[in-house]
Amino acid sequence: MPAAVEFRAVSRHFGPASAPVKAVDAVDLTIAEGAFFAMLGPSGSGKTTCLRLISGFESPTAGEIRIFGQDVSATPPHLRNVNTVFQDYALFPHMNVRDNVAYGLMVKGMPRAKRYAKAEEMLALVHLDAYGSRKPGQLSGGQRQRVALARALVNEPRVLLLDEPLGALDLKLREAMQDELKSLQKRLGITFVFVTHDQHEALSMADSLAVFNQGKIAQIGTPAEIYTQPKTRFVADFVGSSNLLPPTLTQSLGGPAKWASLRPETLRLDANGPIAGPVTAIRYLGAGHRISLNAHGHDIAAILPAGSALPEPGTEIRLGFAPEALHIMDEA
């Protein structure tokens, strides 16, 4: 069975050939059919350009893009079986919700009664079946986001592309929509490709994800693999919070002389622990406290759960950890 999306050494360069800006640089990528796949990275890392390459809004400078085994590198957007949900939703303000959802079907020439029936079906799917006659301006941000989803899904794409669609929502609504999107993807069984710079969104929603940096994929894997087994310092630092230990410190803690990652939540107060130093800061996080100390000339952070006895700033403490918590990384 062919992959839903496949990149074969795909590059996208901008500017003059003599000094190109390599937005995407020889990326190889395979996204399985039915996956919820996230592209995660900072601004300018290449993730959104990759999404635009899949949709056809950008053309590759080099390489090949395949969708379900078909080379679509030169195929225009309207002939690809994909649809995109944008961050700003791009709804038509003068149309009601039903007409917004049915618009793509109207362009395809579907009769009015049939396209309205399909639109109502999609609105029911996103729990907005009572809102068809309203205008977008009469809806909340979360409701407009669901209308945009319904409009994309009504065309029955095999791949749905989501370009930071939750970025404009407040925290509580964003978290609720994360659950809704994940549930919707499971019910429909179609491939979702989700672009975000929010690590928490990517880790909580995706089956697998790619971490982008400077036009390349730094690491690809499941959320658990990315978080617990980062391959590089960039991945360890960008995805979650991590203590990045240089080779000399790693070696002093019983590991090889290589860079290592030690997540703050894996550390605990331990009178016999190998990490020792004075407490330099304590920060309240709600569910616990983040304490910082200067150990061996390096800043080390630990997260202690709520209810833990807290040391005073300036107090010398020791921290311990389970051996498997010390993750050795590549040199890159």
* Digit-coded pLDDT (tens) for 295-311: 988 999 999 988 888 88
Q: Which residue has the tokens 């499971």?
A: 186
pLDDT averaged over the chain?
91
> pLDDT at position 145, please?
84
Q: What is the crossing angle of helices 112-125 and 141-153, to 10°?
A: 130
Contacts of 14 (CB under 8 A, 6+ apart): 20, 21, 23
155, with CB counted inside 10 A (0-12, 13-18, 19+), is middle
Q: What is the pLDDT confidence band of residue 149, given thresholds at 50, 70 and 90?
A: confident
> pLDDT at position 213, please?
95
Ordered by start, the domain boundaries in the chain are 5-235, 243-328
CA distance readout (Å), 272 to 94, 186, 268: 68, 47, 11
Alpha carbon distance 251, 249 (integer Å): 5
Element (H, E) at 279: strand 275-284
HSE of 91 in the Cβ direction (CA atoms, 13 Å)? Answer: 29
Alpha carbon distance 204, 199 (integer Å): 8
User: Which of 199, 194, 222 lies closest to 42, judged by CA?
Assistant: 199
CA distance readout (Å), 79 to 20, 64, 75, 153: 29, 17, 7, 16
> pLDDT at position 179, please?
84
Q: What is the pLDDT confidence band of residue 91, given thresholds at 50, 70 and 90?
A: confident
Q: What is the mean pLDDT of residues 86-112?
A: 88
Alpha carbon distance 200, 38 (integer Å): 11
Residue 96 has pLDDT above 60, yes or no: yes
Domains 5-235 and 243-328 share a fold: no
SS3 call for 11: strand
> pLDDT at position 159, please?
95
**Global confidence as pTM:** 0.88
Homologous superfamily, domain 5-235:
P-loop containing nucleotide triphosphate hydrolases (3.40.50.300)
Q: Which residue has the tokens 């100390």?
A: 293
Alpha carbon distance 266, 322 (integer Å): 7
Architecture per CATH, 243-328: Beta Barrel (2.40)
